[in-house]
Amino acid sequence: MNNKNVTDMTVGSPVGHIIKFALPLLLGNLFQQLYNMVDSIVVGNFEGADALASVGTCGSMNFLFFSLSSGLAIGIGIIVAQFFGAGDEKNVRNTIANSIYVLAGAAITVSFIGILFTPAILRLLGTPDHLIGNSIIYMRTTCAGIIFIASYNGVAALLRALGDSRTPLYFLILSSIINVVLDLAFVLVLGLGVFGVALATIIAQAVSAICCIIYAYRKIEYFRLTREQLRPNPQIIVNSFKLGVPIALQNSMIAVSCMVLQGVVNSFGGTVMAAYTIIGRIEQIVQQPYGSLGMALTTYSGQNMGAGKVDRVKKGFRQATLIALVFSLTLVPVAYIFGEQIVGIFVKEPEVIAIAAKALRINSLCYFGLGMIYVPRAVLNGCGDTGFAMLNGITEVACRVIYSEVLTKIPFLGYWGIWITTGATWVTTAAVCVGRYFKGKWMHKSVVERKQS
């Protein structure tokens, strides 16, 4: 069978598989950050502040709409990884076939809702009248292309489930380059403004999705489906939603909790808001290695759970924990020694730099807590215990709301309570995740019906 591009993680060194798999994911996540920033940079520099605000006000909506397809893609990937680990080629193919119905159905539904209700949602969010026209254009155009985003996420998740994290990276890089070129062409040459930026994103996503599909079909036989395999399988469809929806809802709840914390930050004025924004940008970069490690561990755990190799799952957890610990400890002296220089990249105002540098040092002490959200959660997801994702999301929401309300009201803490809230939220959520792992329920959550060793 011509499946040389897939990787069997049920044999060989766990830490070797995890690191080798995580590195392309890390590069891909960094490119994803670039991809997300390009629209704002082009609009802000060439169309002005109002156009930038029109794009920015759609950020939370975009995240919520895209969460469903990305969550379902992760759920489908978990099922494929487990069947692949079990050596069940028939169900690997059946799951890939049924992913078409799951992702296409979700994408079409979300697109319809987004296009139809965008004006009402934007008004509900309090979008100013002079911005709402461009915001509607941007959001509706983006929603029309959700099918391409779902297609890329789906095929990329399937490739990763089969142990191939490099190929999605190549097409993500291609998509990023196309997006930058088209952004400049549509805005500067054709003068399409906000619509041009959204259209560039859709075209770039469409190209990456089509390339991914062609590659998968030509290089991996699992994707060459027969008519019989393309018949809808209700059990696989149900399992896809069962595993994917909790992850999507978790991401949505985390987004809501961050919006609540942002409201607390805004009450302290512009200087604190600027410092918080800077730390947020830094944290986006810091989280990429943890996120990449987590994605690698999800595939590793899924394959080994499907193979019934629970001891290898546990070994992977221990080794990933060690990686997270070493990385976290490395960042602490960097934050304490170079804090001012790091935040000074973003602003020149001394007051903002002073606050942001201290905030960075506060948060750096809790980075291991952040890492230990990703590591056990990845194992739980990979083994099929995605229902915990809901509890995980609720924990983060409760922590950010309660801690921020309490800590920022303490006179000698004031706005420092914002960053203590972030660190405390990480540590508390990590404790809940680690506790869930050691309870061992994940050992009985596999979608593969076989006795675990």
Tens of pLDDT along 55-109? 666 666 677 777 777 888 888 888 888 888 888 888 888 888 888 888 888 889 8
pLDDT score for 430: 94
Rounded Cα distance between 421 and 6, Å, is 42
Average pLDDT, the chain: 83
The segment with the largest mean pLDDT, out of 58-72, 112-126, 249-263, 300-314, is 300-314
**What is the rounded end-to-end Cα distance, in angstroms, of the chain?**
28
Q: Where are the domains of the chain?
A: 14-232, 266-444
Considering Cα of 338, then 343, then 348, then 350, what sign does the dihedral take? negative
pLDDT score for 368: 95
The answer to whether the CB of 265 falls within 8 A of the CB of 280 is no
**For residue 67, what are the CA distances in angstroms to 107, 233, 351?**
11, 24, 37
The answer to whether the CB of 308 falls within 8 A of the CB of 86 is yes
pLDDT score for 1: 45
At position 354, the amino acid (one-letter code) is A
- The residue-averaged pLDDT of 386-413 equals 86
3-state secondary structure of 427: helix
3-state secondary structure of 50: helix
Tokens of 116: 């139809």
Tokens of 365: 């002490």
Per-residue pLDDT of 112-124, as tens digits, reads 888 898 888 777 7
pLDDT above 90 for 217: no
Percent of the chain with pLDDT over 70: 89
Look up residue 453 and give its DSSP letter: -
pLDDT above 80 for 317: yes
- The residue-averaged pLDDT of 190-196 equals 83
pLDDT score for 420: 93
User: CB neighbours (10 Å) of residue 204?
Assistant: 26
**Helix spans in 47-165 (H):** 49-56, 59-85, 89-124, 129-144, 146-161
Record the pTM.
0.79
The answer to whether the CB of 439 falls within 8 A of the CB of 414 is no
pLDDT above 80 for 47: no
